[in-house]
Structure 1
Amino acid sequence: MQSGRPRNAGNYAVGRHYDKMLEDIAESNKEGPIQCIFFSEFHADYGPRIVCQFPDDYISKDIFDAVSVYIIPKPDIQKRIVTNTILLENEADSPTLGERRRPPRGLKIVGYPNAIADKKYARNAFIFNVCLVCESGERTIQYEPVVRKASEWLVQMEHETALLSGREGQAKMPAVLRAMLQDLNSAGHAVLSVDGSVPVHLKVVRTPPAPKHVADHDVPVWVGRRRPRLEHWDMTSQQIIPHIKGVAHVAKISALADVEVQLVKACIRNLLYYGLVELTSIFQYSNTYVVTPEITRLYTERPLQEECCRAVARDECIPASVGHVFPLYCALTHSRTLRDLCTEHSMQALRVNERQLVQFGLLRGLIRRIHKYPVYQPELAAGAPAPSRFPESVYRLFDGRHSYDEICVRTGLSSKELDDRIERDPTIIVLRK
């Protein structure tokens, strides 16, 4: 793999203060393997340098020199996690053949700079760092406890065997780094030991990504039928949780629980983080839905069929039939509302709860909601009769980015009232997507 070269000093984002140009890269929730592990030290004569790395030559001297001040830092940054994100530009392997340059890529270096104070070392201290390297667009927070624990273990090994500073000890470091990288990538944990020393156990602890934004018009739905026991939650959550029934949106839950809406959102984000709830859209019989390619899974996967039939059943003791449920999903089209579907099929006779049918389909990705987005175009008013105008603040919401759900929650209008008023206003068109 070609290591690439730094473009210039302005293209580096170091530590937690990322350059604006790299925000989209740094905030990715994707997790990937460790690309490289290297051990570096501060040499009394040569300054900061990489002693060994695995794979060899993955981090070039140019790259290391550009961020070495953060790899081997001053004392005030030692003994804390330091993350460096670097934007690189790779050159084509054979530029003479007219190949285009590859798109920019980056590296993310996670380290825990450490120092051992002792008069036997030059400058009275041995300063080092062991760093993990990942692609820049990947999460690395799960590796932070690993580098911290590995660094402290190396301090212990230096005291006992001079593993870091001695010539014989440093000769063993490549094998340590190789085992660490391969085991962490393959199994998520590693056991390191040198010459029968007390082993250290390193484990990658996966952390869920930050929950997504919660809007006023989102509807929280419990994952599974069992709710958490209230006594395990704080007082505010105990007020909010009883109103989460897969029916009320966030703003309505706020009113029902008599809790400020921002606190409701914080509570729901907490429930999202622990995987207890999911968010869906407001349920109305005037909604339209269509199937997604995932609907084929319901046809082929027996476990999903059984889960679906239990979830959408009108009576928990009598599961619905997949022979009835699958055609119901397939009957959802752009031109048919949920009300039309319920009129054409007797949900009671099919033992299907239409609300659960929609929620299960949305949460499993079998169907998706077709939202309506009003767009205000004042130029369409020429020669048309005066419309029943909305307040100016409402017209600002008609920009094609705010759905009916959001507008209705903000204005207090019902979906039917909004539809009727838009129908009489020639300056508004409605997009469906």
Structure 2
Amino acid sequence: MIKAIFYSKFDTIEGKDLQYHAKPSMTYILTTYWRTGPKVVHQVPDGAIVPSPTAPSQPPFLTFSDVSFFVIPRQELCGNLLQVCTNGYRILGYPICMKSVRYDRNEFIFNFCIVLAEEDDFSTYKSVVQKVADLMHGLEEQNGFLSRDFSKSGEGKIYSLCEMLMEDLNNYCECMIPIDELNTLNIKLFPIYPSPPAVKAWQVPLFTLRYQAFMDENWDLTMQRIVPHINGVNSVRIISILADTDFSLTCRALRHLLYYGCLFILDIFSFSAIYAPTAQFSPTIGSDEAMQLECARYVNLRFAPHPPTGPPS
């Protein structure tokens, strides 16, 4: 979750000038002219980065002077994803350095940064800061969108952009924000799942949902052939034999379903093994009739949509 967004710039008079930011894990844009010192111009929520007279009760999340060197770095570090952790927060940024005679000292550095709680997963936000930086770079080249903005604190297009970006990503995990007649900021946060484990021949896959609800005729042919044989009884090797599919392709298709949480893997049932309930049986299955019926549907073949069949002899 984003804590705040702010935009900062470095002026040849004001210094590193933090210009816009917005609240709930932290996101910010910063732009730089070479002036004399850091200065926060806009912040959302107000007072999240530096103390503000309009929000005296809002303590800053961090000390901006401690991280300003990383937020607006030297030119050699521009064009790279940067992150720094301080005071329990993680700052992600992608600084851009633009050179032109129209700027003071012939250069303009800006950076759009996202600040999250340090322990939060930040992998999905890496592409966000880069995409926003690239968009702002294009807008600045077209019409000086950043360098010509002299709005007061809490006003203007950049402030509104930061505010809407933070609210939409926190509430909906996506945003579509019009910038002008030709440009729109489109961002969607996609979850990143861990790589599924390798599938072994003796393991037994079991669906966590009814595959008929999402199966499509455009599916991979191997997937279409193996799915009807996944019933919680057949092992991976038997499924491959029954579906008449290559074993390696069968394993790959099952890993694909594992990746999206459509099934999980069980150990094969062995008649030589000894099975016994654990101490959790009584307070869970033993006292929950609905769960007992659900378990019956898994273990009683009469309830199975496709009775299991063994490999051809």
What is the rounded CA distance, in whole Å, between the counterparts of 1:166 and 1:244 in structure 2?
A: 62
Question: Who is 1:186 aligned against?
Answer: 171
Q: How far off its partner does 1:241 sit?
A: 6.7
Question: Who is 1:206 aligned against?
Answer: 190
Out of 130, 134, 140, the residue aligned to residue 148 of structure 1 is 130
Determine if contact 1:180/1:192 at 8 Å carries over to the other structure.
yes
What is the rounded CA distance, in whole Å, between the counterparts of 1:170 and 1:296 in structure 2?
A: 65
Determine if contact 2:286/2:292 at 8 Å carries over to the other structure.
no
Does residue 129 (structure 1) correspond to residue 111 (structure 2)? The answer is yes
Q: Which runs of 5+ in 2 are unaligned?
A: 4-22, 50-60, 309-313
Out of 211, 215, 223, the residue aligned to residue 208 of structure 2 is 223
Question: Who is 2:94 aligned against?
Answer: 112
What is the rounded CA distance, in whole Å, between the counterparts of 1:77 and 1:297 in structure 2?
A: 61
- RMSD across aligned C-alpha pairs, in angstroms? 4.6
Determine if contact 2:70/2:82 at 8 Å carries over to the other structure.
no
Give SS of 1:185's match: helix
Give SS of 2:159's match: helix
Q: How far off its partner does 1:50 sit?
A: 6.0
Q: How far off its partner does 1:225 sit?
A: 4.8
Give SS of 1:289's match: coil
Cα 1:34/1:149, change in 2 over 3 Å? farther
Structure 1 length as normaliser, TM-score?
0.46
Alignment of 1:368-383 (within 5 A): none
What is the rounded CA distance, in whole Å, between the counterparts of 1:297 and 1:177 in structure 2?
A: 51
Question: Who is 1:84 aligned against?
Answer: 83
Structure 2 length as normaliser, TM-score?
0.60
Q: How far off its partner does 1:205 sit?
A: 2.7
What is the rounded CA distance, in whole Å, between the counterparts of 2:297 and 2:236 in structure 1?
A: 27
What is the rounded CA distance, in whole Å, between the counterparts of 1:266 and 1:170 in structure 2?
A: 56
Determine if contact 1:41/1:129 at 8 Å carries over to the other structure.
yes
More relative contact order in 1 or in 2 (CA 8 Å, sep 6+)?
A: 2
Cα 1:37/1:210, change in 2 over 3 Å? same
What is the rounded CA distance, in whole Å, between the counterparts of 1:158 and 1:48 in structure 2?
A: 21
Higher helix residue share: 1
Q: How far off its partner does 1:126 sit?
A: 2.1
Question: Who is 2:29 aligned against?
Answer: 39
Q: Percent identity?
A: 24
Question: Who is 1:287 aligned against?
Answer: 275
Larger radius of gyration: 1
Give SS of 1:315's match: helix
Determine if contact 2:38/2:65 at 8 Å carries over to the other structure.
no
Aligned-partner residue type, residue 268 of structure 2 = I
Question: Who is 2:11 aligned against?
Answer: none
Give SS of 1:275's match: coil
Determine if contact 2:169/2:175 at 8 Å carries over to the other structure.
yes
Aligned-partner residue type, residue 176 of structure 1 = L
Determine if contact 1:39/1:50 at 8 Å carries over to the other structure.
no
Q: How far off its partner does 1:44 sit?
A: 1.5
